[in-house]
Chain A
């Protein structure tokens, strides 16, 4: 038989599904029901207490502080990360090695230790002063007054964040084609302007790991509960220290963490689409479109 023979065009049918598929579905359903049974019928979960505290002022205040802390840390950490990434690619070896050492230190020690360390910095330096090394002091301030739980938390998380962001940004910068640097340089751009051409291109590859980093940081802020900063977790702890409803309040905190991380993942997918501009062809015919309708399409 050759291709042109046969009883005309045969209709198409989807392939038969494996019977195992139904076995797997049955097992999954059973497990889900068993889990629901345990979760709903065990009174120790304390669902009424969860409902009572989910939107309570103390929890929402804690959530707000967690969000503020995350935002500040992300902004400071990203700026620090860009600076460190540029330093690492510097031709000046002292600058490059300094950045390397910074990243090495802050990524190589537990964040929990860093948080506690900065909170206790007053034990190391009772007075924090500004001056010439080994020379005269220009101005000084009592460390205990300066390092509140909030500043210690911002300091610890941001310095740590900077180290992680530096690696992410560096990866993005290295990912940009060398020809892009050369094209910018050949136009007569100074190094800072060249960077202005390169960074937006790096952003595309920087976004996914940065979004992951944001989710991680958001959850890492829970560490500051150990230094008594009233974040989401600490607020829940304060409540259950009084009413002994530990599990319900942990559920309340976990609910908010989960809701926010899900939201962040959604925003991440939106951002990724936005920065694919110029990389994924816009879906429209390549036919000779004039300037005016090209503009119209862009605005649509």
Chain B
């Protein structure tokens, strides 16, 4: 079997006394889309943050394309990497947030260019072309010179996706990318994500959009109370779950 693009082994995370992740094993194969679903507070966001080291796990290992993230192997131990080196590793892991988090003092174009220019010290003209291409891809070339507060939520989220793609990541993590949007704006963002999936991007999507999970995901994970309770093909997990907890959650959702 080929090595998965993303592999998590025994991930544990505590916040003070709260045990948020209680040993998560999870893998996503190259070019596939995995949807992560589960009730509020089950640890979905925390799991995504462990993958790119925004909140490093206390225990366990994160592997992305065969590279150990945030840790260095030293004999039979692992040692946390310095923040600078974790930052370098994050370049290959794109992330899209629920609340967009565009840089408000930059135009859409400047937002998309910010990664390559500041992280890779890339050539300005070439980065501009790349960024315009990406804005075009998400249907916002005409909005390149708008500031985020001049864009709708759906437009902001599409710029945020373009910004993450500008770093040419190997994987993309989405944390409830449509939860902060008015219902009529959800479709435009999901359609950009659909295109991305069709191009073969490896993606983990935390979402409440069961329609999207059913249509696009190759794999669905149901998480509850810090563990993956059930996972498998969307048809199985979403329509005919084995566990009572998943059945309960899907009935409510």
Q: B-contacting residues of A (Cβ < 8 Å)?
A: 177, 179-180, 182-191, 193, 196-197, 200-201, 204, 277-279, 281-282, 286, 288-291, 294-295, 298
B118 (CB) vs chain A CBs: closest residue: A193
Instruction: Name the segment of B59-67, B93-101, B191-199 touching the other chain.
Output: B93-101
Q: Is the CB of A187 within 8 A of B115?
A: yes
Q: Is the CB of B114 within 8 A of A197?
A: yes
Q: State whether the Cβ of B208 lies closer than 8 Å to any Cβ in chain A.
A: no
A182 (CB) vs chain B CBs: closest residue: B54
Partner of A291, one of B141, B160, B167: B141
Would A191 and B83 be within 8 Å (CB), given that A183-B97, A286-B150 are in contact? Answer: yes
Partner of B54, one of A186, A196, A286: A186
B window 125-166: CB within 8 A of A: 141-142, 144-150, 160, 163-164
Cα–Cα distance between A283 and B99 once the two chains are bound (Å): 25
Q: Is the CB of B88 within 8 A of A188?
A: yes
Over the window 62-95 of chain B, the binary record of Cβ atoms lying under 8 Å from chain A Cβ atoms (1 yes, 0 no) is: 0000000000000000000001100111111111
Extra contacts, 17 of them, besides A182-B97, A187-B119 (Cβ < 8 A), are A179-B97, A182-B54, A182-B95, A182-B101, A186-B97, A187-B164, A187-B167, A188-B87, A188-B89, A188-B90, A197-B114, A201-B103, A279-B104, A279-B149, A281-B150, A294-B146, A298-B145
A200 (CB) vs chain B CBs: closest residue: B105
Q: Is the CB of A188 within 8 A of B83?
A: no
20 contacts between A and B (CB under 8 A): A179-B101, A180-B101, A182-B95, A183-B95, A183-B97, A183-B102, A183-B160, A184-B103, A186-B90, A186-B93, A187-B115, A188-B119, A190-B87, A191-B87, A201-B103, A290-B142, A291-B145, A294-B146, A295-B145, A298-B145
Q: Is the CB of B91 within 8 A of A187?
A: yes
Would A278 and B106 be within 8 Å (CB), given that A193-B119, A288-B142 are in contact? Answer: yes
CB of B71 to closest CB in A, whole Å:
17
Q: On chain B, which size bracket covers the interface?
A: 35 or more
Residues of B within 8 A of A177 (CB): 101
Residues of A within 8 A of B92 (CB): 188
Residues of B within 8 A of A278 (CB): 104-106, 147-149
Residues of B within 8 A of A295 (CB): 145
Interface of chain A: mostly helix, strand, loop or mixed: helix
Cα–Cα distance between A76 and B16 once the two chains are bound (Å): 40
CB of A282 to closest CB in B, whole Å:
7
Cα–Cα distance between A185 and B114 once the two chains are bound (Å): 12
Would A188 and B167 be within 8 Å (CB), given that A182-B101, A201-B105, A278-B106 are in contact? Answer: yes
Cα–Cα distance between A282 and B101 once the two chains are bound (Å): 20
Q: Is the CB of B142 within 8 A of A289?
A: yes
Partner of A294, one of B52, B91, B105, B145: B145
CB of A167 to closest CB in B, whole Å:
23
B141 (CB) vs chain A CBs: closest residue: A291
A277 (CB) vs chain B CBs: closest residue: B105
CB of A182 to closest CB in B, whole Å:
6
Over the window 187-224 of chain B, the binary record of Cβ atoms lying under 8 Å from chain A Cβ atoms (1 yes, 0 no) is: 00000000000000000000000000000000000000
Residues of A within 8 A of B149 (CB): 278-279, 281
Cα–Cα distance between A187 and B95 once the two chains are bound (Å): 8
Cα–Cα distance between A193 and B116 once the two chains are bound (Å): 12
Would A189 and B118 be within 8 Å (CB), given that A282-B150, A291-B141, A291-B144 are in contact? Answer: yes
Cα–Cα distance between A180 and B88 once the two chains are bound (Å): 18
Would A186 and B84 be within 8 Å (CB), given that A278-B149, A290-B142, A291-B142 are in contact? Answer: no
